[in-house]
Amino acid sequence: MANTQRAAFEIGSTTIVAGTRRTVNLPMSLLSNHTPMSIPIHVIHGKKDGPRLFISAAIHGDELNGVEIIRRILKTPRVTKLRGTLVAVPIVNVFGFLAHSRYLPDRRDLNRSFPGNEKGSLTSQLASLFMKEVVLRCTHGIDLHTGAIHRSNLPQIRADLTDPMMEQLAKSFSAPLVLHSDLRDGSLRRAATDKQIPTMLYEAGEALRFDELAIRLGVRGIIRVMQTLGMFGKLPPPQKNKSVVSLSSYWVRAPTGGIFQSLLHLGAKIKKGETVGMVTDPMGTSEMLVEAGEPGILIGRTSLPVVNQGDALFHIAKVHNTTKAEKVVAEFHEEFIEEMNLETLSHE
Assign residue 272 the CATH number of its domain.
Answer: 2.40.50.100
Assign residue 199 the CATH number of its domain.
Answer: 3.40.630.10
For 189, phi and psi rounded to 5 degrees?
-60, -40
Based on the fold, state whether residues 128 and 16 are members of the same structural domain: yes
Calculate the average pLDDT of the chain: 93
Give strand pairing partners of 297: 269, 317
pLDDT (tens digit per residue) in 78-112? 998 899 999 999 999 999 999 999 999 999 999 99
Based on the fold, state whether residues 29 and 140 are members of the same structural domain: yes
List the domain range (segments joined by +) for residue 208.
9-244
| 137-175 as b/e: b if 16+ CB within 10 A | bbebbbbbbbbbbebbbbbbbbbbbeeeebbebbbbbbb
Residues 31, 7: Cα–Cα separation, whole Å:
36
Rg (CA), the chain: 21
Among 129, 153, 130, smallest CA distance to 300 is for 153
Domain end marker among 244, 264, 285 = 244
Identify the pLDDT of residue 62.
98
pLDDT (tens digit per residue) in 253-312? 999 999 999 989 999 999 999 999 999 999 888 999 999 999 999 999 999 999 999 999
Has this prediction a pTM greater than 0.85? Answer: yes
For residue 340, what pLDDT band results from cuts at 50, 70 and 90? confident
CB 166 within 8 A of CB 160: yes
pLDDT (tens digit per residue) in 3-53? 457 999 999 999 999 999 999 999 999 988 999 999 999 999 999 999 999
Identify the pLDDT of residue 337.
81
Tell me, yes or no, whether 332 lies in a domain. no
Based on the fold, state whether residues 193 and 252 are members of the same structural domain: no
Based on the fold, state whether residues 304 and 317 are members of the same structural domain: yes
For residue 238, what pLDDT band results from cuts at 50, 70 and 90? low
Based on the fold, state whether residues 208 and 131 are members of the same structural domain: yes
- How many structural domains comprise the chain? 2
Identify the pLDDT of residue 335.
83
Domain end marker among 191, 223, 244 = 244
CA angle (86, 133, 215) in 5-degree steps: 40
Res. 341: pLDDT tops 80: no
Give the rounded distance of the alpha carbon of 133 from its chain centre.
Answer: 20
Based on the fold, state whether residues 221 and 104 are members of the same structural domain: yes
pLDDT (tens digit per residue) in 270-284? 999 999 999 999 988
Tell me, yes or no, whether 50 lies in a domain. yes
